[in-house]
Chains A and B, each alone.
Chain A
């Protein structure tokens, strides 16, 4: 079977509109999480990672009319436009498009939104992105809670292996909306301070927004220096609870084990784990348990939620792209917000950004509905 690679990539976020800038900011310890005062989003001030609207409009202007596209569409188009142009890939019936999003244009359900509520249909969003760029294949929208971004990579790889496509562009995004903020707040899952994944003082999540995009391809001749090979991936349900993780981390444990089997690697090969780390009490504890069941407690690990907040359908893709750059720069980036271990099992949270030779990394994600996903990536030797 052909090898599958992640190649050209882009991140549009509160700390930069391209991957190198974003990675540079992470290296400098810059977080995109700030105190937001906006009553249209939430009645009281809250911490979140929100993209500056003027910067977003300015970046979108050369690509289309600000009045005709929603905030989310603009973010997705800016990101995918860069990835697509840099890749030089010509769109044809062999090139697929996957959108990873949990809520899409959910803000258009608000009667005050200038666009009609029909814009909230995710298939409509898929076709807007397809038509903007001129994709000739039907867009595939994946809405599988917070694992969507990592699962989208697995799905792209599987469609390529099956012969449906030769190459797939994935774009993953969600926005900060009053819909999401009110919902997570009703769960009492929101932190009143910048989030602190795995830390003793953690008190919940911050919400964030990004658009991230990547080219998934078997073409070894069109790879960027930070390209990685997708060695193995799997997604397993907890079969336990719809809104809380399994206490034993069963689904995550099985996902990692299955991804290792396909990748033909073991815990000793993994140089770095890009974990989910939402900073809720239950999620972080569950991850520590699952990782220890797999003898992964000593592997350096971070959660990037301290830089971007939880960016929902974008998060898995965003964090995988940072992982690619982490391998390329041979650098472990610090897990922002972490000071003191606050989970019952030992895990090796990265406290300071450090240089280390890196070849393999594991990306994991977990979400509502009991879903979990894991993927193992290997640096492409230049």
Chain B
């Protein structure tokens, strides 16, 4: 097993109506709810991907945060990037699950929709990112009660050390009731921040 000293190349967060890349504020809008905010952020980031509007809130959140980190790496459409996606959260796809449940609870008013049902899996967000960035790579979606830096650290390290991925996009994307939070970081052999549990916790808590 080759063991390399891994780094955190970049990180991005979306919460409290702010979009941050590393320690730089990319966008802020305090006036709006999540649905309007994320659309404004999408426009500001020049994302240009109409499928975005069909996604549920969890996928929009994860897609946009991932796009900010991956865009500089995947501009060359000929190059195949082996970047694994390892995401986690506490609410899985419950926001969309509740919508699907509402559509079937009343037999007199029964309207389940495939466009909603497909988003009742948290890993659909990983599929959306994989399609946009042509990633034929490892995908895993974990559910923890709280952000678990230890497991993410071990798992990302293992994927790179065993050659299953060159880089790993890791983190936490959660959308539940009125709350949302995204924090993603790119683990690589390059970068200036040491990849260890303490640094991950520090970046997560100071985001």
Give chain A's interface residues, CB within 8 Å of chain B: 1, 43, 102-104, 106, 109-111, 120-124, 126-127, 138, 140-145, 151, 155, 158-159, 161-164, 178-179, 182-187, 234-243, 250-251, 254, 258, 368-371
Contact = CB atoms under 8 A, between A and B. Distances in A.
Interface in B95-114: 97-98, 100-101, 103-105, 107, 110, 112-114
A123 B127 contact: no
A142 B141 contact: yes
B123 A371 contact: yes
A183 B143 contact: no
Nearest to A123: B145
B94 A368 contact: no
B97 A106 contact: yes
The interface centre, meaning the residue of B112, B114, B121, B154 with most chain A CB atoms within 10 A of its CB, is: B121
A238 B127 CA distance: 8
B121 to A, nearest CB: 5
B131 A159 contact: no
Interface in B125-155: 125-128, 130-131, 133-145, 148, 151, 154-155
Contacts of B103: 182
Given A102-B121, A186-B112, A144 B140 contact: yes
A158 B143 contact: no
B97 A237 contact: no
B124 interface: yes
Contacts of A102: 121
B144 A123 contact: yes
B92 interface: yes
A250 B145 contact: no
B152 to A, nearest CB: 11
B36 interface: no
A237 B130 contact: yes
Contacts of B91: 121
Nearest to A370: B127
Given A164-B151, A187-B114, A182 B104 contact: yes
A141 B112 contact: no
A157 B130 CA distance: 24
Interface stretch (B11-19, B156-164, B185-193): B156-164
Given A138-B144, A142-B141, A159-B155, A370 B130 contact: yes
Contacts of A368: 118, 121, 123-124, 127
Given A183-B120, A237-B135, A237-B137, A158 B101 contact: no
Contacts of A370: 127, 130-131
B92 A122 contact: yes
A356 to B, nearest CB: 32
A239 B134 contact: yes
Contact of A110 (B101, B124, B140): B101
A161 B101 CA distance: 40
Contact of A142 (B110, B140, B148, B159): B140
A164 B155 CA distance: 9
Closest 9 CB pairs of A and B: A369-B127, A183-B117, A123-B145, A162-B158, A141-B143, A237-B130, A122-B143, A186-B112, A369-B123
A150 to B, nearest CB: 12
Contacts of B142: 140-143
B122 interface: yes
A199 B44 CA distance: 50
A122 B174 CA distance: 13
A123 B131 contact: no
B77 to A, nearest CB: 12
Contacts of A184: 117
Contact of B143 (A109, A126, A145): A126
Given A110-B101, A158-B159, A235-B138, A240 B123 contact: no
Contacts of A109: 97-98, 101
A143 B155 contact: no
A179 B97 contact: yes
Given A126-B143, A141-B144, A368-B123, 9 more contacts: A142-B140, A142-B142, A178-B104, A183-B100, A184-B117, A237-B135, A239-B131, A239-B133, A258-B164
Residue in A1, A126, A164 with the greatest tally of chain B CB atoms within 10 Å: A164
B90 interface: yes
Contacts of B151: 138, 140, 159, 164
A263 to B, nearest CB: 13
B139 A371 contact: yes
Contacts of A122: 92, 143
A186 B139 contact: no
A313 to B, nearest CB: 10
A151 B92 CA distance: 17
Contact of A187 (B98, B100, B117, B155): B117
A243 B114 contact: yes
A140 B92 CA distance: 13
Nearest to A185: B112
A144 B143 contact: no
